[in-house]
Structure 1
Amino acid sequence: MTWDDDDDADAEERGGRRRVREPVTGWQVVRRSAAWTGVVVGAVALVVGAVVAVSVLGTAANPGGFAAPAADGPHAALPPSASQPGEPTDLEPTDEGDAVDEGDAATFDDSADVSGIEMPTAAPFPLVDGDWSAQLASATGIPERALMAYALAHIVVASEDPDCGVDWATIAAIGSIESGHASHGATTLDDDGFAQPAIIGRALDGNGVAKIPDTDGGMLDGDVTWDRAVGPMQFIPSTWAEWGSDGNGDGMMDPNQIDDAALTTATYLCASGPMTTPAGWRAAIYSYNHDNDYVDKVAKVAQGYAAAVG
């Protein structure tokens, strides 16, 4: 799951699945605003260890010098939030109906009488200090829309799998390395969290990369011959088919949508086991990309992000 800078042309949008854009209704504003406000803050604890033998003269007994400690993640913690899960929100759904993005699914016409339809209620989300998120985005260089997605993934997984230990800084580091937080080439995140144009990696045809024949009929990557990594977190279609998550509560799972991609990254990492120890953290990142240099790079970037909390 790594972005290849040598293939800029592959970043252009291809004919894979794209959602039909519908006018945003009052209920969509409720649901999306709830999802987007889930940002977490954490303190930083860098776990370092080294076994060193020193002679009585103070020189290293090991002629190779001191062994470098294995790089570890930041283990950023959840902060207090303005609204805790389970508390009601002040937002109420409108009676305009909830437009469905899929073209083959039911949609509400503006002229339709929907007064008798019982609207779903928004799940409460922890609210974050907007000043903090803006300051952290400025301090780290992470686009605020992406930062919200990474943090929401931290909150969701901390609630659903508290033993995991994944944190927003680790997810953000992977997002940085894989696609520059969905800024590779001409791509940017729109207000809804979609990478525009879609991020599509090079063909995995065995030419200097893994050889993975098409598994999705080109639905996600627009290629019916070979699979390609897709989206801000660079998931291949077969991995997305197994692990794809709905991070923004819209009923869809799209690797080019940052909330979905960030939550999928978090749950994928947690599947390797707890990330609360250096060994566990490294094993999780290694499961994402089987390269120790990649693991070290993620650790360095994540520690930098967490340190910016100050």
Structure 2
Amino acid sequence: MSTRSRVLVAIAAVAALAVIVVAVMLVLSPRLMLPGDSGAAPPEPPGPDHALPAAAPPLAEARTRAGVAGLADADWVERVSAASGIPARALAAYAGAAIVKARAMPSCGLGWTTLAAIGLIESDHGRHGGSSVGEDGTVTPPIFGIALDGAATAHIADSDGGAIDGDAEYDRAVGPMQLIPQTWRNWHVDGSGDGVEDPQNIDDAVVATSNYLCRASGDMAGREGWRAGVGAYNSSDAYVQSVADAANRYAKDASGD
């Protein structure tokens, strides 16, 4: 073999080896990253920034409880409770309050899912700190928020002499819907039908919340009105989005999709 032939053979061998090495590297190495590609799954797109319409709870043919908690169909309450994880007693209050508001102020368009979402975020449906909602709707032990002393919250000086929140220096949010004393005084109501108005009772508290939201918004069915109402309850954008996410999740649970 001539010297030239031996050189060409050597070059061909080196080229073949290079092809094999590159192929092995491509198989064993991570995939090539495109610009902006971290290699992780793409993030979930953000959900809607308001509660989408949800089907109204069906009415009970025969009431099993007094007050708003007896208005929604018991089978619906049990089914949606199982699907969503919302305790049945709390769900009955949310559904009943929405039914009452639809009758008294149909133009508001407040859905049960919004009330349930607020109840989740404010107190885990009355279960915050080991509390629980009794069959009469009353939360035991009572739920009290932190002092609104301006350190990590708004500064709200005492407005009730401690009669509602047990604090004679600063106001505290109270009950399963975390209503401050000033709000409770404006919207206090007996939603349970026991003759007592109590912010630690989930029926009373949820109906008061529905009154507050509809007065703050006037149109909880539309995006702008819904965001205005929930924003009046808590002005944090993150809070409003959390309520929207929870409300839409509950609507999906209830629909069975």
Counterparts of 1:90 and 1:197, CA distance in 2? 28
> 1:281 — aligned with what?
226
> 1:71 — aligned with what?
49
Picking from 161, 180, 188, the partner of 1:217 is 161
How do 1:187-206 and structure 2 match up within 5 A?
Answer: 187-206=131-150
> 1:166 — aligned with what?
110
> 2:96 — aligned with what?
152
How do 1:133-152 and structure 2 match up within 5 A?
Answer: 133-152=77-96
Residues 75 and 166, structure 1, Cα contact 8 Å, conserved in 2: no
Residues 203 and 226, structure 1, Cα contact 8 Å, conserved in 2: yes
Once the two structures are TM-superposed, the CA of residue 70 in structure 1 deviates from its matched residue by 5.3
Q: In the alignment, does 2:129 pair up with 1:185?
A: yes
Counterparts of 2:88 and 2:63, CA distance in 1? 24
Alpha-carbon RMSD = 2.3
How do 1:74-153 and structure 2 match up within 5 A?
Answer: 74-83=52-61, 127-153=71-97
Q: What TM-score, normalized to structure 1?
A: 0.63
Counterparts of 2:125 and 2:59, CA distance in 1? 25
Gaps of 5+ in 2: 1-44
The SS at the match of 1:307 is: helix
Picking from 182, 195, 201, the partner of 1:257 is 201
Which of the pair has more CA radius of gyration? 2
> 1:297 — aligned with what?
242
Once the two structures are TM-superposed, the CA of residue 131 in structure 1 deviates from its matched residue by 2.6
Q: State the AA in 1 paired with 2:112.
A: W
> 1:113 — aligned with what?
none
Once the two structures are TM-superposed, the CA of residue 134 in structure 1 deviates from its matched residue by 1.1
**In structure 2, do the counterparts of structure 1 residues 82 and 279 end up closer, same or farther at CA, with 3 Å as the change threshold?**
same
The SS at the match of 2:145 is: strand
The alignment of Structure 1 onto Structure 2 pairs a total of residues equal to 209
Counterparts of 2:178 and 2:105, CA distance in 1? 23
Q: State the AA in 1 paired with 2:98.
A: H
Once the two structures are TM-superposed, the CA of residue 297 in structure 1 deviates from its matched residue by 0.7
**In structure 2, do the counterparts of structure 1 residues 149 and 215 end up closer, same or farther at CA, with 3 Å as the change threshold?**
same
**In structure 2, do the counterparts of structure 1 residues 124 and 259 end up closer, same or farther at CA, with 3 Å as the change threshold?**
closer
Deviation digits for residues 7-38 of structure 1, max 9, x if unmatched? xxxxxxxxxxxxxxxxxxxxxxxxxxxxxxxx
Counterparts of 1:80 and 1:134, CA distance in 2? 12
Q: State the AA in 2 paired with 1:217.
A: G
Q: What TM-score, normalized to structure 2?
A: 0.75
Counterparts of 2:132 and 2:58, CA distance in 1? 30
Which structure has more helix as a fraction of its residues? 2
> 2:152 — aligned with what?
208
Once the two structures are TM-superposed, the CA of residue 82 in structure 1 deviates from its matched residue by 4.2
Deviation digits for residues 199-228 of structure 1, max 9, x if unmatched? 001111111111111111111111111111
* Percent identity (aligned): 48
